[in-house]
Structure 1
Amino acid sequence: MTLQTVILAAGMGSRLGRSLPKPLTELSDGRSIMQQQHDNIRAAFGTDANITTVVGYRAETIVEAFPKVSYVHNERYDQTNTSKSLLRALAATGKSGVLWMNGDVVFDPRVLGRAIALIEADRSFVTVNTSKVSDEEVKYTVTAEGYINELSKVVVGGIGEAVGINYISSADKKAFMRQLQRVDDQDYFERGLELAIAEDGVRIQPLDISDLYAVEVDFAEDLERANLFV
């Protein structure tokens, strides 16, 4: 079955201070952030992997740069957060499980290689980095069985950070979408995962990639750090 992948790229990315959508930011190797993501997806899953990109801010620039993938438009990109962008994409990908990522993450190609076994087993997961816990990032805790418990920027006592690359199984997708529908427009998609865990009994495994690089590019210093790896 063809893997469904989603890239969330609707936001304005104003903190980086560029006029183009943040996923089009050029890296030191000449590729854009989004091109690096496409290359990583194709390297791990082949050319048959279906990529659906959620666009909003200056959507035409992304569509022009990557004309051969599928698109979902979030016309309310300036009024909503990743929860609503992801909901639109999940609705467009049928009943299958979905791998999704934030459109501003520069990451080691081996991250997806490590995820293949869980994807083939159709098991929901969130990639995590346990080597640091920053106040501004999405943090997590786990249950006694080792599954994700809390997942947000306000978690107290977090044991690591979420990287921004995740998978929802075909079995868990319906519950997750229902919770994304419920959450506030300004909520991140992690709120939908938290509610699916608490109210629907969804079990999400943390996938530790602490030994690999994954940089969410919000500020100029993040871009400098990402360029050390590519």
Structure 2
Amino acid sequence: MHAVILAAGVGTRLGRPFPKSLSVLPTGERILGRQIRLLREVGVERVTVVVGFKMALIMEEYPDVFYCYNNVYYVTNTSKSLLHCLRRLDDDVLWMNGDVVFDSQILQEVLGTERHNLVCVDRKRCADEEVKYRVDGNGNIAEISKTVSEPLGEAVGINLVRRESLSAFVAALDQCDDLDYFEKGMELCVRGGMAWKPFDISAHRCIEVDFQEDWQQAQAMFREG
């Protein structure tokens, strides 16, 4: 198992002068540091962080992980940041956005599942900016994007692709436009017959920090542990 954390973006919506993955939670731990710690606590030792914006700040803070540099981070989106890294891997890959704060139980449950490609989801009412999903008659992901109509909930930004599906997913990400999110690559895979299972994490704390109100909510949710 290899973990990939996407932390290359500028994070303009939050408006910080540093990568938002370095934002400090009330516990004194940074978002990225918490992610790395939780991954290692569940036995995932190989962690690669995709960097771009002010990458030296991240690399100096966490020198004991692998790094992949997206040198065009300022004109590309998460599909290309993920592609940069996945091209170099040959393993099951658990990947996440670098601005997601979540309970450790989510990782424990994901790693304990059968061999499916997984999309962690929160079954709740979704705002326009959130990535949403719906399923087909077999319970697999049928559509995943910000424009899904009548969604079942939100895709929270934590996902798992199995080694046997990795090359097809890489090919799909390669087809994406520069400004596409990685979910576009997942949709292309779905159209090609690849199955992605939604994995419900609604019972646990999890929030993706895009805006200041998200950050305020994250601070309230994660005052402890």
Q: Bin the TM-score by the shorter chain.
A: over 0.9
Residue 134 of structure 1 deviates from its aligned partner by: 1.8
Question: Residue 16 in 1 paired to residue 18 in 2?
Answer: no
3-state secondary structure, aligned to 1:185 = coil
| Cross-structure match for 1:62 | 58
Q: Is 2:75 the counterpart of 1:79?
A: yes
Note if 1:102 corresponds to 2:100.
Answer: no
Structure 1 CA distance, aligned partners of 2:119 and 2:50? 20
Q: CA deviation at 1:136?
A: 1.2
Tell me the TM-score normalized by structure 1: 0.94
For 1:228, the equivalent position in structure 2 comes to 220
Provide the TM-score with structure 2 as the length reference: 0.96
| Distance in 1, Cα, partners of 2:67 & 2:27 | 26
Q: Do the aligned residues in 2 keep the contact of 1:139 with 1:162 (CA within 8 Å)?
A: yes
Question: Equivalent residue for 1:151?
Answer: 144
Aligned equivalents of 1:45, 1:147: Cα separation in 2: 28
Work out which of the residue numbers 99, 108, 111 in structure 1 matches 2:106: 111
Q: Which region of structure 1 is more displaced relative to structure 2, 159-168 or 37-46?
A: 37-46
Structure 1 residues without counterparts, runs of 5 or longer = none
The residue number in structure 2 matching 1:53 is: 49
Structure 2: where are the runs of 5+ without partners?
none
Q: RMSD across aligned C-alpha pairs, in angstroms?
A: 1.0
Q: Take 2:20 and 2:70, find their aligned partners in 1: how far apart are those partners?
A: 16
Specify the alignment match of 2:2 in structure 1. Answer: 4
Q: Which consecutive aligned stretches of 4+ in structure 1 deviate over 6 angstroms post-superposition?
A: none
Structure 2: which amino acid aligns with 1:99? L
- With over 3 angstroms needed to count, the CA separation of the structure-2 counterparts of 1:43 and 1:229, relative to structure 1, is farther
| Structure 2 residue 218 is the aligned partner of structure 1 residue 218 | no
Is 1:181 the counterpart of 2:174 in the alignment?
yes
The C-alpha deviation readout for 1:152-171, integer Å capped at 9, x for no partner, is 00111111100000000111
Aligned counterparts of 1:122 and 1:54: Cα–Cα separation in 2: 25
Q: Which of 132, 142, 150 is the matching residue for 2:125?
A: 132
CA distance in 2: counterparts of 1:217 and 1:174, whole angstroms = 30
Contact 1:163 1:214 in 2 (8 A): yes
Shift of 1:132: 2.3
Aligned length: 222
1:207 aligns with 2:199: yes
Counterpart Cα distance in 1 of 2:15 and 2:27: 21
What per-residue deviation string (whole Å, max 9, x for no partner) do you get for residues 106-163 of structure 1?
A: 1111110110122xx4321000000222221000010100000100001111111000
Deviation sequence 1:81-118 (CA, Å, 0-9, x none) = 0000000111122x211000000001111110110122
Q: Does 1:43 align with 2:76?
A: no
